[in-house]
Chains A and B, each alone.
Chain A
Amino acid sequence: MTVFFDILLFISSILLIVGLRKLSHPESANNGNILAAISVGLGIIVSIFYPMETQNNNYLFIALGIIIGGIIGLIAAKKVAMTAMPEMVSLFNGFGGFSAALISLIWLINHNSSGGYADLSVVLFNLFLGFVAFTGSMVAFGKLSGKLKDNHLKIPYASIVNITLLILAVVLIGVFAYQGKLTHVHLILFTVLSIIYGVTFVAPIGGADMPVVISLLNSLTGITAAISGVMTDNKLMLLGGILVGSSGIILTLLMCVAMNRSLVAVLFGSFSSAKAGETAN
């Protein structure tokens, strides 16, 4: 019985690759989108019925989650104005990141916040990326929809703050993983740090550069999906996540080229864009 589901998962993986391939050609893009959707759908069905060692199933919660989320997603996609598509993508992407962060939290709770060095560092890294993708996408959404102006969220010495926070996060992951256990206070502090970093990372970047940033955050969400795939031993998630992650990075670079900007200028050029904003005022 397990083999049957494994074969389905394999077919789904192939569909995903073909779908993404078709998505990148103008004539076949629509078919590619449908194929990718079928692949994800198949993956969901397999994950629901896959035989597991200790299964409590909790199907009620799963059905409830999919129905509520599916309806909200479909309605939001249908109602959104054509001009507001990029910010919708950003919003969806943020939700994906939040989901990844929740998955890491659940893993930590299920394992009593303790584990081996490798496991813990991977999960904490996933938690960090998930929250960064979430809050970062929310800021990007705010900027694109015009609710958040460039001068609303001003971070003093943004580059220095960002680098300090990033180093702090990496060091904390190392320390917690080395200890092999997290207290509740540590977990909450680390979560808060991740949430703050997402905001300070995107806030200094000008509104015009948001599409590039969304593409970058999209690639981050892909990586969290891949890591969650390793955590739950699901090869489709790993494959899909890495495909999104690597293609997302290439796409980010291509978008920079199309806009005649370098990625470094987009991420760290915040300095100049903030100055330009000041002189405009």
Chain B
Amino acid sequence: MSEIIQFISNNLNMIYILAFAIFLGFEIISKVPTVLHTPLMSGSNAISGLILIGAILLIRVTPSDNYITLILGTLGIVFGSINAFGGFAVTGRMLEMFNKKRKK
């Protein structure tokens, strides 16, 4: 129990951000038109490519001779980058198509 309290007091800032961000996420999306559902899903999927940052931060503190971790970390960065770069590029293409349709 004391450890849970310790965890909360150590991460109080994070908990505040967490709570506010949940409401913010709800608010931002609540009025989105149906046509934007797929591009928005794709866009938010690309944002979760942020996960790559975690892999970078962990690999930076890994000892240089710990090859198993380094390889796992590099794989993590590769997959995270595919998610981030690919995600934003795909979203861009979807929106391009969407704009063309609107102009016609």
Chain A: residues with CB nearer than 8 A to chain B?
A: 16-17, 20-21, 23-26, 29-30, 32-34, 36-37, 40, 43-44, 47-48, 50, 52, 54-58, 61-62, 64-66, 68-70, 72-74, 76-78, 80, 82, 85-86, 88-89, 92-93, 95-96, 98-100, 102-103, 105-107, 109-110, 116-119, 211, 214-215, 218, 221-222, 224-226, 228-232, 234-248, 250-251, 254-255, 258
Contact = CB atoms under 8 A, between A and B. Distances in A.
Contact of A64 (B6, B74, B91): B74
Given A68-B78, A105-B72, A93 B52 contact: no
Interface string B60-104: 111110101110111111111111111111111111111100100
Interface of B: 3-4, 6-7, 11, 13-14, 17-18, 21-26, 28-64, 66, 68-70, 72-99, 102
B78 A69 contact: yes
Q: Is the interface of A mostly helix, strand, loop or mixed?
A: helix
B43 A23 contact: yes
A230 B35 CA distance: 34
A52 B60 contact: yes
A154 to B, nearest CB: 28
B68 to A, nearest CB: 7
Return the 9 tightest CB-CB contacts between A and B, nearest first: A69-B81, A65-B77, A73-B86, A246-B25, A77-B89, A118-B7, A73-B85, A228-B54, A242-B21
A214 B42 CA distance: 10
B79 A244 contact: no
Contacts of B39: 23, 29, 33
A92 B83 contact: yes
Contact of A80 (B37, B52, B90): B90
